């Protein structure tokens, strides 16, 4: 019969290890923060392999964003990702893909985009002000708070909030576990995002800048960097 030792009972994180034949359950004090990846806007040869490997390494969710893309290319990418991960993918375009591939839901990146009239699934949204966050949280699975830091991918996209403003938003209950940090997320600020109380962080440039989508085949550096981010996120 297995013997179980509970070493800590302070929070929500749970990990296990074996010590001298005993199964040790460690429950940590700090909640796990979700790691969400925003896809490159361009399709490339190794994409499905990288995304599958990231899921295997602990990626929580994938935001499929391919602006101005033909639906058939999104279908092909999804067909190459194992179906066991489809329930962790949110699509930004071609909303029929949600039912076609049994995806997690759809994302509305601005006020001009609306869900299909007969849609009843999960919706996530991007917010650009604290007022929008408060409004969108009521009817969304979660909200992505954009421009938390200066963008890694888009140099002209500046930070919209100071650290003190974000701390005030936490105290007011605006930033909570239903809010994901978006914009300028990188390994160096991931701990700060976690300590502020965001439910997750949406990564883009800090990962994709470590792989040449045009001519690269070796993505070990990207995966190694993701592992470091995963350790910080919990």
Every domain of the chain and the residues it spans: 1-29, 31-233
The pTM of the whole model exceeds 0.75: yes
Q: In sequence order, which residues have a C-beta less than 8 Å from that of residue 218 and are 6 or more positions away? A: none
Q: Is 159 left (phi over 0), alpha (psi -120 to 50) or beta?
A: beta
Is 228 in a helix, a strand, or coil?
helix
Walk along the chain (234 residues) and give the pLDDT tens digit of each residue.
Answer: 343 333 433 334 444 434 455 555 544 455 789 999 999 999 999 999 999 999 999 999 999 999 999 999 999 999 999 999 999 999 999 999 999 999 999 999 999 999 999 999 999 999 999 999 999 999 999 999 999 999 988 878 889 999 999 999 999 999 999 999 999 999 999 999 999 999 999 999 999 999 999 999 999 999 999 999 999 999
Tokens 């600020």, located at residue: 189
- Which overall architecture, per CATH, does domain 31-233 show? Alpha-Beta Barrel (3.20)
């Amino acid at each position: 019969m297995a013997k179980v030792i509970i070493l800590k009972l302070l929070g929500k994180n749970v990990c296990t290890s074996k010590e001298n034949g005993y199964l040790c359950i460690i429950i940590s004090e700090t909640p796990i923060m979700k790691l969400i990846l925003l896809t490159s806007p361009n399709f490339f040869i190794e994409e499905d392999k990288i995304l599958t490997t990231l899921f295997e390494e602990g990626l929580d969710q994938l935001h499929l964003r391919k602006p101005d893309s033909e639906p058939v290319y999104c279908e092909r990418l999804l067909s190459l990702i194992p179906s066991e991960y489809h329930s962790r993918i949110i699509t930004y375009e071609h909303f029929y893909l949600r039912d076609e591939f049994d995806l997690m839901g759809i994302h509305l990146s601005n006020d001009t985009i609306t869900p299909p009239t007969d849609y009843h699934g999960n919706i996530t949204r991007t917010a650009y002000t604290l007022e929008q966050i408060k409004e969108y949280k009521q009817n969304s699975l979660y909200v992505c708070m954009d421009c938390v830091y200066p963008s890694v991918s888009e140099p002209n996209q500046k930070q919209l909030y100071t650290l003190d403003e974000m701390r005030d938003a936490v105290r007011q209950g605006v930033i909570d576990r239903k809010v994901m940090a978006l914009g300028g997320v990188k390994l160096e600020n991931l701990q700060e995002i976690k300590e502020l109380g965001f439910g997750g962080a949406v990564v883009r440039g800090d990962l994709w800048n470590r792989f040449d989508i045009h001519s690269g085949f070796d993505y070990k550096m990207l995966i190694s960097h993701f592992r470091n981010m995963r350790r910080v996120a919990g």
